C-alpha cells in the first residue's frame, strides 16, 4: 500500500503481515473523525491488496491502545448526528470484522470505549501485561456506540457484558483473559501476534478466509440499529452534555437523569 496517512502508520513485513498503528499518542490515540476516516481507507485497501496476508492493529506508544472515541467531538453531537456517528463507527468496525484475512488487536495500555470496541471488532486479541479494558460510556451519560453492546455479550456472555457496560468498570489483562475477552496475555503483544499469525498462515489461505466468514455469519444485525438509535437519543440529553463536559473540565459529573 503506497498511500500515506496522518493519524495512522503502516508497515508490512516479508510475510505480508501489515501492522496498522493508530498514531495520536498525545490524545492516547483517541478516535476522532480523521482517525476513523483513515481506518476506513486503510481497511478498504487491505481487502484488495494481494500482498497483505494478515493484519495487526495497535496504538502508538505503551500507554494506550486507544482511549476511546474523541470525547471533545462527542460533546458536539445531537440526536441525528449522534446516530449517524454511531452508524459510521459501526460500519468502519464492521469493515474490519468483515476482512477475510486474520486481524489481531495487539493491546498495550488503555483500550477503553471505542478502543475496546475496536479491539473487539478484530478477530483475535492479544493483551500486553499493562492492558486495561473497559466500556466507560455510561460515566459520560452515553452507551457504547461502535458495536460494543453487540460484540461484548458475544465474547464474554450477557451477564458479564452487562456488568461491564452498566458499571463502566475497567479490568486488567489477566481478568480480560479469564473472561475470554482476550486470547492471550504477553509481555510483547506485537511479537506474540506475529507468532500466532505465522501459525495461522501456514494453513490453506482459502480455508482460513472461509473459516472467518463462517464464524461471523449472522442474521442478527438489528441490535446494531438499536444501539445507534439509543446512542443518538442520549447525545441530546443534559446527562451526556454534563458527562462529556466533566471529563474535559477534569471534574466529576453530576447527573440529573434528564
Q: Which residues make up the interface to ligand COA (CB under 6 A)?
A: 27-28, 30, 67-72, 110, 112-114, 136-137, 140
Q: How far is the CB of 111 from ligand COA (least distance, A)?
A: 10
Smallest distance, Å, CB 251 to ligand COA?
Answer: 12
| Residues 26, 168: Cα–Cα separation, whole Å | 23
Selecting among 34, 73, 117, 254, the annotated active-site residue is: 117
Cell of 97: 470484522
Q: Which is nearer to ligand COA, 52 or 71 (CB)?
A: 71
Active site residue 117: yes
Task: Give CA–CA dist 126/216, Å, rounded.
Answer: 19
CB atoms within 10 A of CB 239: 18
Smallest distance from the beta carbon of 90 to ligand COA, in angstroms?
A: 14
Rounded to 10 deg, the angle between the 79-97 and 33-48 helix axes is: 30
Contact 23, 7 (CB under 8 A): yes
Nearest to 57 by CA among 117, 15, 107, 12: 107
Grid cell 445507534 is found at 228
In angstroms, give the least distance from the CB of 22 to ligand COA: 12
Q: Which is nearer to ligand COA, 102 or 136 (CB)?
A: 136
Active site annotation includes 137: yes
The C-alpha cell at 139 is 460515566
Marked catalytic residue, from 34, 137, 175, 242: 137
CB closer to ligand COA, 89 vs 189:
89
Q: Catalytic residue positions? A: 117, 137
Amino acid at each position: 500500500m503506497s498511500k500515506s496517512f496522518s493519524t495512522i502508520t503502516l508497515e508490512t513485513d516479508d510475510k505480508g503481515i501489515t501492522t496498522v498503528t493508530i498514531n495520536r499518542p498525545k490524545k492516547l490515540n483517541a478516535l476522532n473523525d480523521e482517525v476513523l476516516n483513515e481506518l476506513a481507507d486503510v481497511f478498504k485497501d487491505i481487502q484488495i491488496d494481494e500482498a497483505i496476508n494478515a493484519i495487526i492493529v495497535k496504538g502508538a506508544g505503551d500507554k494506550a491502545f486507544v482511549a476511546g472515541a474523541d470525547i471533545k467531538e462527542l460533546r458536539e453531537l445531537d440526536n441525528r448526528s449522534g446516530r449517524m456517528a454511531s452508524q459510521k463507527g459501526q460500519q468502519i468496525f464492521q469493515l474490519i470484522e468483515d476482512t477475510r484475512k486474520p486481524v489481531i488487536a495487539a493491546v498495550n495500555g488503555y483500550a477503553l470505549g471505542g478502543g475496546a470496541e475496536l479491539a473487539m471488532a478484530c478477530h483475535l486479541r492479544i493483551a500486553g501485561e499493562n492492558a486495561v479494558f473497559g466500556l466507560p460510556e455510561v460515566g459520560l451519560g452515553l452507551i457504547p456506540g461502535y458495536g460494543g453492546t453487540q460484540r461484548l455479550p458475544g465474547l464474554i456472555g450477557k451477564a458479564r457484558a452487562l456488568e461491564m457496560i452498566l458499571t463502566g468498570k475497567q479490568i486488567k489483562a489477566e481478568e480480560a483473559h479469564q473472561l475470554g475477552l482476550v486470547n492471550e496475555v504477553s509481555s510483547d503483544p506485537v511479537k506474540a501476534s506475529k507468532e500466532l499469525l505465522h501459525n495461522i498462515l501456514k494453513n490453506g489461505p482459502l480455508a482460513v478466509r472461509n473459516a472467518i466468514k463462517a464464524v461471523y455469519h449472522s442474521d442478527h444485525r438489528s441490535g446494531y440499529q438499536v444501539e445507534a438509535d439509543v446512542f443518538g437519543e442520549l447525545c441530546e440529553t443534559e446527562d451526556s452534555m454534563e458527562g462529556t463536559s466533566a471529563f474535559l473540565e477534569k471534574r466529576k459529573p453530576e447527573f440529573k437523569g434528564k
